[in-house]
Amino acid sequence: MLQSPPRFLTEAIPVATEIKSHSNRPGGFFDAAAVAQSHLRALYGVAHVIASTTTLDEAAIPALKSICSELGWDIGLLWVSSENYSEVRLRHWWAPDGSPHAEMARKCKELVFTQQDGVLGHAWSRRGPSWFEDAANEPVFLCRHLAAASGLTSMVVAPILFGGRLLGSLEMFTARRRPQEAGMLPLLMSLGTILGEFIDRVRSQDALEQRAAGLRRSERLEAIGRLAGGIAHDFNNMLTAILGFSDDLLRRVGPDSELRPDLEQIRRAGQRSADLTRQLLAFGRRQLLQPRIVDLGATLVSLEEMLRRLLGERIELLVRSAPGQWTIRVDPGQLEQVVLNLALNGRDAMPSGGRLTLEASNVDANEEFRKRHPGVQPGPHVLLTVSDTGSGMDEQTQARVFEPFFTTKAVGQGTGLGLSTTHGIVNQSGGHIWLASAPGSGTTFSVLFPRATEAARPAGRVPITSLEGKETLLVIEDEPAVLGMIKSVFESHGYSVLGAGNGEAAIAAAEANAGRIALVLSDVVIPGVNTRELAGKMRVLVPGAVYLYMSGYTSDVIVQDGVLDESVNFIGKPFSPDAILTRVRGLLDEKRAPPTRRT
């Protein structure tokens, strides 16, 4: 079966054409053959380099050396477009050791162009190479002053094309004045095509490796999340009892009691354990979310005073919000946690002081934006950026920054869960997070949320004037310590409490006290019973009662993908006595309050 010729032979056709064109010129066939041999050596050299390397950084300098050495150029530059084609930068260059022309390349490393600028734009518009015999006086050459200062006179620029896209350019220079050589241009075009195919292949491979790494990272996160969720329910039950009883005892003992310091220490240890559990659930995306319509700019302003205290006097805090800020649908408490974690991370990167900037802005995720940030859905979004002027991060640190328990701090100065928690919250909230950083240049974290499609609902909460009550409550909780703590707390505030450790006991209590029960407080996970079915029976037996769920873990029984519907009343474990008293009293008062008139 006839196959297409290999690219190397295809690219050699211009060389054969050149031999024919030179054979009738002064110098004869042998001069033409010598030129053609140098061209073939350049082609072979580049092909050999590409065949034996896997990255552009490995291939670039040997390829430039082969081109310049074989074709008589004093210095060669390789410019490469960014992956979204928005800018072009000098990636690599080659010149002989001790070359007086190297200074130009070093200065060009600092420059950034677009694909329409200068000689690159000229070559791109022609879709072919351009030769400039007197480059130092060529207006379209934007670096002519650098070339002149380095003693360079003539140049050629060849676009690197593949698939109809401009991936970069080759630029070669000589100190001597060099007239245009017809055979050189098709050769450089062929070299540009070969390099373009290589760059495209490398980028495609990098993209596949990044997706594979992302999948492996997601699988690790999912496994840890399942582990965290598995222990969270029992652990948070124990913490609810520890924190509840310690709070109750602290309220009973006097301020001068010798027991008070020990009780306060118990409570602090319990609270730290509760915080750690919440972090484990958050980075594992097992945190229960109660989303609301939120103004990100207003959230930043409300946190400003607290952040100034946390950051200290040596760090300048700037908070910016664009006018006409769109709203987002997120859990307000979790959003504040994200802002706090990123702000504290910035503070830790600036031990000698600096500037931290928090900014909220509206963003349209158009095609160009989504090329830079794969996975983002098209349409309007709200962007939070947190930028510091600190030490920055190298690429190795950036690659691991969202991993749980990874930290660059000294032992005992951090859990390594701050940024992984942030990553988990953002992803579970339907957002995206990424960073840009370099050593010595600070770090910018960007967090993107979809714009909310519905309007904010008024809170309509009834003010709570007292935590006392005379109502009867039915508490369904299988953990005796938690049930005992809840009964003790509510009975000490005037309530009557019926306790049930399982579904059968709950149904029996409801049947015997149907007309008395004002509120049912039920754990989400009750052994041997489906919580939804139990709730349905409760609403039949005590139709006027308010239902309040409690849990330390997101369960599919009452949530969908970790997001709680606004119509479901819920309180997360562990909770303090004041928190559960306030939640219950608020629900009972709302039930008694007259309905608000809607206009």
Q: What confidence category does residue 444 fall into, taking pLDDT thresholds of 50, 70 and 90?
A: very high
134-138, 331-335, 532-536, 591-595: least confidently modelled range: 591-595
Q: Which residue has the tokens 């509510």?
A: 490
Q: What is the tens place of the pLDDT at every residue in 478-506?
A: 889 899 999 999 999 999 999 999 888 99
In this chain, the answer to whether the domains covering 212-283 and 472-592 adopt an identical fold is: no
| CA contacts within 13 A on the Cβ side of 505 | 14
What pLDDT score does 407 carry? 66
> What CATH number labels 212-283?
1.10.287.130
What pLDDT score does 11 carry? 47
The domain segmentation of the chain, as residue ranges, is: 7-205, 212-283, 292-450, 472-592
Cα separation values, 233 from 11, 102, 238, 553, Å: 67, 65, 9, 6
168 in helix, strand or coil? strand
Q: Distance between CA 463 and CA 585 in Å, rounded?
A: 10
The encoded tokens of residue 477 equal 């909780």
Residue 128 has pLDDT above 50, yes or no: yes
Q: What is the tens place of the pLDDT at every residue in 533-585?
A: 888 888 899 988 999 988 876 554 455 444 445 567 888 888 888 889 999 99
233 neighbors 209 (Cβ within 8 angstroms): no
28-32, 354-358, 362-366, 518-522: least confidently modelled range: 28-32
565 neighbors 549 (Cβ within 8 angstroms): no
- Amino acid 84 reads N
The encoded tokens of residue 45 equal 């050299």
Other CB atoms within 10 A of residue 105 CB: 22
Q: What is the tens place of the pLDDT at every residue in 198-213?
A: 998 888 888 788 777 7
Q: Distance between CA 436 and CA 236 in Å, rounded?
A: 37
Average pLDDT value for the chain: 81
Q: What class, spelled out in words, does domain 292-450 have in CATH? A: alpha beta
Q: Distance between CA 291 and CA 449 in Å, rounded?
A: 12
CA geometry: angle at 56 spanning 55 and 57, to 5°? 90
**What is the b/e burial string over 280-312, where b = at least 16 CB atoms within 10 angstroms of the residue's CB?**
bbbbbbbbbbbbbebbbbebbeebeeebeeebe
What pLDDT score does 330 carry? 87
28-42, 156-170, 387-401: least confidently modelled range: 28-42
CA end-to-end span of the chain: 79
What pLDDT score does 218 carry? 67
43 neighbors 190 (Cβ within 8 angstroms): yes
295-309, 343-357, 388-402: least confidently modelled range: 388-402
Higher pLDDT pick, 266 / 424: 266
The structure's pTM equals: 0.50
Q: Distance between CA 44 and CA 429 in Å, rounded?
A: 53
Q: Which residue has the tokens 């004002």?
A: 518
What pLDDT score does 123 carry? 80
The encoded tokens of residue 496 equal 């009557």
Quote helix, strand, coil % in the chain, to nearest 5.
45, 20, 35
Q: Which DSSP symbol is given to 394?
A: -
What pLDDT score does 241 carry? 87
Q: Distance between CA 345 and CA 217 in Å, rounded?
A: 22
Q: Which DSSP symbol is given to 171?
A: E
Q: Which residue has the tokens 């009691």?
A: 257
According to CATH, the superfamily of the domain at 472-592 is Response regulator (3.40.50.2300)
Sequence-ordered strand ranges (E) for 206-266: none
- According to DSSP, the β-strands at 130-132 and 154-162 are antiparallel
CATH topology of domain 7-205: Beta-Lactamase (3.30.450)
Residue 416 has pLDDT above 60, yes or no: no
The encoded tokens of residue 446 equal 């960007």
Q: What is the tens place of the pLDDT at every residue in 61-89?
A: 999 999 999 999 999 999 998 877 778 88
Q: What is the tens place of the pLDDT at every residue in 180-192?
A: 987 888 898 889 8
What pLDDT score does 474 carry? 95
